Amino acid sequence: MTLSTMLGLAPASAQDNYEIQVYGGETVPPGTTMVELHSNFTAKGSKTKVGGLEPTHHAEHETIEITQGITDWFETGFYIFTTIQPEGGWEWVGDHIRPRVAIPASWHWPVGLSLSQEFGYQRRKFSADTWTWEIRPIIDKKIGRWYLSFNPTLDRSFHGESVHRGVEFSPNAKVSLDFTRHIAGGLEYCGAYGPLTGFDPLADQGQQFFPTIDLDLGAAVGVQLRCRDRSHAVD
């Protein structure tokens, strides 16, 4: 079993920030199970209910991600979203399933290429959209000590307040540099531009940057430290 722990500090976050990640093109090897813990703390958020949603101020989001490698080109991930509310205790938020196909490394393509689809449910008290779907093309490349990844993600709500918006564009990207064999540092970008039929005004789009440090501790353990740079976010 592979265990990866992801820790994050977020000065403010949207209600759905239970798993913030830019994906790489490689899938989990066949017969291997990877378990990841995504932890996000909201240091500054809403202190009262907004639109029927629970307050986010000082909420701790804990997400368990279990990914099973099935073949050298196919894996399936399963998410368990939970939240720890300052006054409400620990609650289950929802579950998602995420099948993914990839071009096998044995094909020796010049870039890594895979396609992830994620579908699932979140409770209405924690998300304005309860049933959602995401399709995430993934393109990545390792160039010497540099690593680049681009995820031109598409999102769709099937039940909730965003159904009328149709398919929305939410690109993600990452660039990192290997400082040593076990330590890499970089920057991740997460955007939310709005519907494909017409992007939202710039002031209404989401633009977020996350400085990151990736630590390879050996023994099948990895740690990713991520901190949101609020000064580069557009609200």
Beta-carbon contacts of 108 under 8 Å, excluding residues fewer than 6 positions away, are none
| Cα pseudo-dihedral 46, 49, 51, 53, rounded to 10 | 90
Residue type, 51: G
Q: Return the closest-CA partner of residue 172 out of 202, 201, 129, 137.
A: 137
Model's pTM, two decimal places?
A: 0.83
Residue 182 · residue 155 · CB < 8 Å: no
Per-residue pLDDT of the chain (235 residues; tens, 9 = 90+): 333 333 433 333 333 567 778 999 999 999 999 998 888 888 888 888 888 898 888 888 999 999 999 999 999 999 999 999 888 789 999 999 999 999 998 999 999 999 999 999 999 999 999 999 999 999 999 999 999 999 999 999 999 999 999 999 999 999 999 999 889 999 999 999 999 999 999 999 988 888 888 887 655 455 555 554 433 333 2
How many angstroms separate the CA atoms of 120 and 129, rounded? Answer: 10
Q: What is the pLDDT of residue 231?
A: 34
Rounded distance between C-alpha atoms, residue 208 and residue 225, angstroms: 16
In the numeric block, which tokens belong to residue 93?
Answer: 């938020």
- What domains are defined for the chain? 2-47+58-234 (2.40.160)
| pLDDT of amino acid 89 | 86
- The predicted structure's pLDDT at residue 3: 36
